[in-house]
């Protein structure tokens, strides 16, 4: 199978979507001439021209609001916000406009737009360039949120997001951009809301998404050495999320730990743990564990950030705790 | 860019007058429905600003789009929104254009290119900018209008959008209703510059017009829309008057009696009536127009009262165009 890299899969998804649908446009700060801060959009300007691959000023609120207006007027904009942290400036457009237009207009309109948000730490980029804010968007009725962990999903989930009639937040971990993986010539289409069993196991379920998938796979290897068989569920999509897949895994393993890089408090893991508690209580042999970053801003220093981002050891400990 | 015509025909003035009367009669009914508790929430009335809605919307073609503000009843009605679906919406009925989910502050009619009223000050501006971008990219020949008030002059979204509209030569009209008030504060206490000064900074063609003179506003809007369609953005500042409070129920203790008294002399409907008489339209004909508007509104209110209440389950199921399994929870 042909190997590619995550960032190239994103680029190919954008390119294939622009090719397939003349209403798709790609816009954002430095995405055209410069090819994007992380080079996700490299070469698109040359292929599709400045009307469809558009550099915008550094005006997050208005470029995002404009994407909503364009989506209400016959285009399918794919907007890149350079770092997820900067989306704070665009929240009105996403939360009050994009998410609500369909509902508050009584179904007269859809808002087929995508916002790509690079998140996550590991680059020592500090408190304003490292955050994982996906829970904010999963909390808003009207938005969909996906977070691809693999190269193939980077392609397939982005294509699914662009094809979707509703506003979709595509969260891409910056640390994954350079990772290699298989990308078939014809990647299988993804369905938003469908999880994937990334590793089979029988003793404990690790529920995760994005870059934390690799951490969980590593932890599962370490648990195996201790005689514990961990199943790893890659959610892929956070809103909607695949409750059936998670509950059926927990019905098999009777234990669960939810793992993400985002700050633990009030996070995605809280929602998932609560649902497992509410609907899978009879299957559980232990309280559901949660692993996430501690409740502090992302620190800069290499030594601090290394402890801030959850590692495999913390996942192993949390998993073992469910087996005590 | 001089106007092609300096005046409008009597027929054109009559049409504009009918539009203003429809808006005035609708809002008079809304004021009563609100006072009587038949409409809950917040409503923001545009008494005194009807000429802007009628004048600007008269310049639009079928393919054009607009986004408006919390004070948007006039704009949606002047654009042609059906009175029945309007009143059903504002009264929270199932047959409302938005199924009773928008009410006054978000009312939209996509079939007329109305991208909604908006509860966020300044939010109409980026939406219209994006719509203009779509017109340009899709080569529809259309123009997008952002209605906004002077309260939005201090919003960053406006400043960002002026820059982008100029950078990209978008087919867009920035239609400002400058009534001197930013909610409960005089705009002079909130904004140091001027809108035309801002427009000039970005090299955008601009003009201020007496927004209580429907003829002058309609003529200026024709020029503004024609400019936007062929050359790029235009800022049209309509100097107008807000008669009611920021919202219904606002006692406006922050306004002087003199200021409020002076509003009567600037009533756009009285000004237009005088022009009609001067153009040879008999007073009885003008009175009949008002009576007809009142009757249409009364019919729409009655129909709305008789309409069913919206279904909760239907609303719950309509958050997404394509819902996933968990969205239905």
CB contact under 8 A, A96 and B127: no
CA triple A173-A176-A178, angle to 5 deg: 135
Could you tell me which chain B residue has the CA closest to the CA of A91?
A: B123
Phi and psi at B191, nearest 5°, equal -135, 125
Per residue in B143-163, pLDDT (tens digit) is 999 999 999 999 999 999 999
Average pLDDT, chain B: 95
Chain A residue numbers with beta carbons less than 8 Å from the beta carbon of B115 are: 69, 72-73
Per residue in B30-46, pLDDT (tens digit) is 999 999 999 999 999 99
Per residue in B90-121, pLDDT (tens digit) is 999 999 999 999 999 999 999 999 999 999 99
Helix (H, G, I), strand (E, B) or coil at A79: strand
Overall number of domains in chain B = 1
CB contact under 8 A, B321 and A243: no
Per residue in B212-241, pLDDT (tens digit) is 999 999 999 999 999 999 999 999 999 999
The residue ranges of DSSP E strands in B240-292, in sequence order, are none
With cut-offs at 50, 70 and 90, classify the pLDDT of residue B329: very low
CB contact under 8 A, A104 and B102: yes
Could you tell me which chain A residue has the CA closest to the CA of B310?
A: A106
CB contact under 8 A, A192 and B324: yes
Asked if the structure places residue B325 within a domain, the reply is no
Of B129, B320, B325, Cβ closest to residue A69: B129
Q: Compute the distance between CA of residue B311 and CA of residue A107 in angstroms, rounded to an integer.
A: 14
Distances (CA, A) of B263 to A50, A196, B186: 50, 66, 15
CB contact under 8 A, A64 and B157: no
How does DSSP assign B115-158, residue by residue?
Answer: ----SSTTTHHHHHHHHHHHHHHHT----EEEEEEGGGGG-HHH
Q: Compute the distance between CA of residue A266 and CA of residue A273 in angstroms, rounded to an integer.
A: 11
Asked if the structure places residue B241 within a domain, the reply is yes
With cut-offs at 50, 70 and 90, classify the pLDDT of residue B2: very low
User: What is residue A35's DSSP assignment?
Assistant: -
With cut-offs at 50, 70 and 90, classify the pLDDT of residue B254: very high
CB contact under 8 A, B130 and A239: no
Per residue in A109-134, pLDDT (tens digit) is 999 999 999 999 999 999 999 999 99
Tell me which of A119, A129, A173, A254 is the catalytic residue: A129
Chain A residue numbers with beta carbons less than 8 Å from the beta carbon of B157 are: 61-62, 65, 92
Of B130, B320, B326, Cβ closest to residue A65: B130
Chain A residue numbers with beta carbons less than 8 Å from the beta carbon of B96 are: 106
Q: Do A197 and A250 touch, CB atoms closer than 8 A?
A: no
With cut-offs at 50, 70 and 90, classify the pLDDT of residue B83: very high
Neighbouring residues of B193: CB distance < 8 A, sequence distance ≥ 6: B153
Q: Compute the distance between CA of residue B180 and CA of residue B158 in angstroms, rounded to an integer.
A: 17
Of A66, A92, A105, Cβ closest to residue B130: A66
| B51 prior amide bond cis, ω within 30 | no
With cut-offs at 50, 70 and 90, classify the pLDDT of residue B328: very low
CB contact under 8 A, A61 and B101: no
Radius of gyration of chain B (CA): 20
Q: Do A212 and A176 touch, CB atoms closer than 8 A?
A: no
Tell whether the torsion through CA atoms of A193, A87, A78 and A181 is positive or negative. negative
| Domain residue limits at B98 | 10-312
As assigned by CATH, the class of the A196-323 domain is: alpha beta
CB contact under 8 A, A61 and B157: yes
Q: Do B175 and B146 touch, CB atoms closer than 8 A?
A: yes
Q: What is the dihedral of CA A305, A310, A311, A317, to 10 degrees?
A: 140
Q: Compute the distance between CA of residue A187 and CA of residue A10 in angstroms, rounded to an integer.
A: 12
Chain B residue numbers with beta carbons less than 8 Å from the beta carbon of A68 are: 126-127, 130
Asked if the structure places residue B320 within a domain, the reply is no
Tell me which of A29, A60, A231, A261 is the catalytic residue: A60
Chain A residue numbers with beta carbons less than 8 Å from the beta carbon of B134 are: 69-70, 73-75
Superfamily grouping for domain A3-182? Thiamin diphosphate (ThDP)-binding fold, Pyr/PP domains (3.40.50.970)
Phi and psi at A289, nearest 5°, equal -90, 160
Domain with CATH 3.40.50.970 in chain A: 3-182
What's the confidence (pLDDT) of residue B326? 57
A129 carries an active-site annotation: yes
Residues forming a β-bridge with A26: A53, A78
CB contact under 8 A, B115 and A73: yes
Helix (H, G, I), strand (E, B) or coil at A190: coil
Chain B residue numbers with beta carbons less than 8 Å from the beta carbon of A65 are: 123, 125-127, 129-130, 157, 161
Q: Compute the distance between CA of residue A250 and CA of residue B198 in angstroms, rounded to an integer.
A: 60
Asked if the structure places residue B143 within a domain, the reply is yes
Residue B194 has pLDDT above 70, yes or no: yes
Regarding an ipTM greater than 0.85, the answer is yes
Could you tell me which chain A residue has the CA closest to the CA of B328?
A: A240
Q: Do B56 and B145 touch, CB atoms closer than 8 A?
A: yes
Per residue in A15-38, pLDDT (tens digit) is 999 999 999 999 999 999 999 999
User: What is residue B4's DSSP assignment?
Assistant: S
Chain A residue numbers with beta carbons less than 8 Å from the beta carbon of B116 are: 101, 104-105
CB contact under 8 A, B108 and A144: no
Asked if the structure places residue B302 within a domain, the reply is yes
Of A70, A97, A109, Cβ closest to residue B123: A97
Of B96, B115, B322, Cβ closest to residue A69: B115
DSSP element (H, E) containing A278: helix A268-279
Chain A residue numbers with beta carbons less than 8 Å from the beta carbon of B125 are: 62, 65
Domain with CATH 3.40.50.920 in chain A: 196-323
Shortest Cα distance, chain B CAs vs residue A139, angstroms: 11
User: What is residue A96's DSSP assignment?
Assistant: I
List the pLDDT tens digit at each of the 324 positions of chain A.
789 999 999 999 999 999 999 999 999 999 999 999 999 999 999 999 999 999 999 999 999 999 999 999 999 999 999 999 999 999 999 999 999 999 999 999 999 999 999 999 999 999 999 999 999 999 999 999 999 999 999 999 999 999 999 999 999 999 999 999 999 999 999 999 999 999 999 999 999 999 999 999 999 999 999 999 999 999 999 999 999 999 999 999 999 999 999 999 999 999 999 999 999 999 999 999 999 999 999 999 999 999 999 999 999 999 999 999
Q: What is the mean pLDDT of residues B275-288?
A: 96
For residue A39, with 0-12 CB atoms within 10 Å meaning exposed, 13-18 middle and 19 or more buried, which class applies?
middle
Of A70, A108, A192, Cβ closest to residue B134: A70
CB contact under 8 A, A106 and B320: no
The residue among A94, A74, A238 whose CA lies nearest residue A165 is A74
Phi and psi at B240, nearest 5°, equal -140, -170
Phi and psi at B200, nearest 5°, equal -65, -35
What is the count of residue pairs from A and B with beta carbons less than 8 Å apart? 172
Distance of CA A121 to the CA centre of its chain: 14
What's the confidence (pLDDT) of residue B3? 47
Q: What is the mean pLDDT of residues B132-145?
A: 98
How does DSSP assign A37-57, residue by residue?
Answer: TTSTTTTHHHHH-TTTEEE--
CATH number of B244's domain? 3.40.50.970
Of B106, B127, B136, Cβ closest to residue A104: B106
Asked if the structure places residue B292 within a domain, the reply is yes
What's the confidence (pLDDT) of residue B289? 98
Print the SS3 string covering A131-172: CCCHHHHHCCCCCEEECCCCHHHHHHHHHHHHHCCCCEEEEE
A60 carries an active-site annotation: yes
Asked if the structure places residue B211 within a domain, the reply is yes
């Amino acid at each position: 199978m042909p190997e590619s890299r995550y960032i190239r899969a994103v680029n190919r998804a954008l390119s294939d979507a622009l090719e397939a649908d003349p209403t798709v446009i790609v816009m954002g700060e430095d995405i055209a001439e410069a090819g994007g801060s992380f080079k996700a959009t490299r070469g698109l300007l040359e292929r599709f021209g400045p009307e469809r691959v558009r550099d915008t000023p550094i005006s997050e609120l208005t470029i995002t609001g404009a994407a909503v207006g364009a989506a209400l007027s016959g285009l399918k904009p794919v907007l890149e916000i350079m770092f997820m942290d900067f989306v704070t400036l665009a929240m009105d457009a996403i939360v009050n406009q994009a998410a609500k237009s369909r509902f508050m207009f009584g179904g007269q309109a859809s808002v087929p737009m995508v916002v790509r948000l690079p998140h996550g730490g590991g680059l020592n980029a500090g408190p304003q360039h490292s955050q994982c804010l996906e829970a904010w968007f999963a909390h808003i009725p009207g938005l969909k949120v996906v977070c691809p962990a693999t190269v193939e999903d980077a392609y397939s989930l982005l294509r699914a997001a662009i094809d979707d009639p509703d506003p979709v937040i595509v969260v891409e971990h910056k640390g994954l951009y350079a990772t290699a993986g298989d990308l078939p010539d014809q990647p299988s289409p993804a369905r938003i809301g469908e999880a994937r069993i990334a590793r089979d196991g029988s003793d404990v379920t690790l529920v995760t998404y994005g870059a934390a998938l690799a951490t969980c796979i590593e932890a599962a290897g370490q648990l195996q050495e201790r005689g514990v068989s961990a199943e790893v569920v890659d959610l892929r999509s956070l809103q909607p999320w695949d409750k059936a897949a998670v509950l059926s895994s927990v019905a098999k393993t009777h234990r669960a730990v939810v793992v993400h890089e985002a700050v633990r408090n009030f996070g995605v893991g809280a929602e998932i743990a609560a649902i497992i508690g509410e609907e899978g209580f009879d299957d559980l042999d232990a309280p559901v564990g949660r692993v996430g970053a501690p409740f502090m801003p992302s620190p800069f220093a290499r030594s601090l950030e290394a402890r801030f981002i959850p590692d495999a050891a913390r996942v192993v400990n949390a998993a073992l705790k469910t087996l005590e | 860019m001089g106007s092609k015509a300096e005046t409008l025909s009597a027929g054109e003035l009559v049409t504009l007058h009918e539009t203003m009367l429809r808006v005035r009669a609708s809002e008079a009914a809304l004021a009563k429905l609100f006072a009587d508790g038949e409409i809950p929430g917040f409503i923001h009335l545009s008494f005194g600003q009807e000429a802007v809605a009628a004048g600007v919307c008269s310049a639009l073609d079928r393919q054009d789009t607009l986004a408006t503000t919390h004070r948007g009843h006039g704009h949606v009605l002047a654009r042609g929104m059906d009175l029945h679906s309007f009143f059903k919406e504002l009264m929270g009925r199932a047959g409302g254009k938005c199924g009773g989910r928008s009410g006054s502050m978000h009312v939209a009619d996509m079939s007329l290119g109305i991208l909604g009223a908006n509860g966020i000050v300044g939010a109409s501006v980026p939406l219209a900018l994006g719509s203009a971008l779509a017109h340009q990219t899709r080569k529809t020949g259309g123009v997008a209008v952002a209605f906004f008030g002077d309260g939005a002059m201090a919003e960053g979204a406006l400043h960002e959008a002026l820059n982008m509209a100029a950078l990209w030569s978008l087919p867009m009209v920035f239609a400002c209703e400058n009534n001197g008030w930013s909610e409960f504060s005089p705009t002079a206490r909130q904004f140091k510059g001027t809108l035309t000064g801002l427009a000039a900074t970005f090299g955008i063609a601009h003009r201020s017009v007496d927004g209580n003179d429907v003829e002058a506003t309609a003529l200026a809007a024709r020029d503004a829309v024609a400019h936007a369609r062929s050359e790029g953005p235009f800022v049209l500042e309509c100097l107008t008057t807000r008669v009611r409070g920021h919202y219904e129920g606002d006692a406006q203790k922050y306004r002087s009696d003199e200021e409020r008294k002076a509003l009567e002399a600037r009533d756009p409907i009285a000004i237009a009536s005088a022009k009609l008489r001067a153009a040879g339209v008999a007073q009885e004909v003008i009175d009949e127009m008002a009576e007809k508007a009142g009757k249409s509104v009364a019919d729409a209110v009655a129909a709305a009262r008789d309409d069913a209440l919206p279904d909760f389950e239907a609303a719950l199921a309509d958050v997404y165009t394509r819902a996933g399994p968990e969205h239905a929870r």
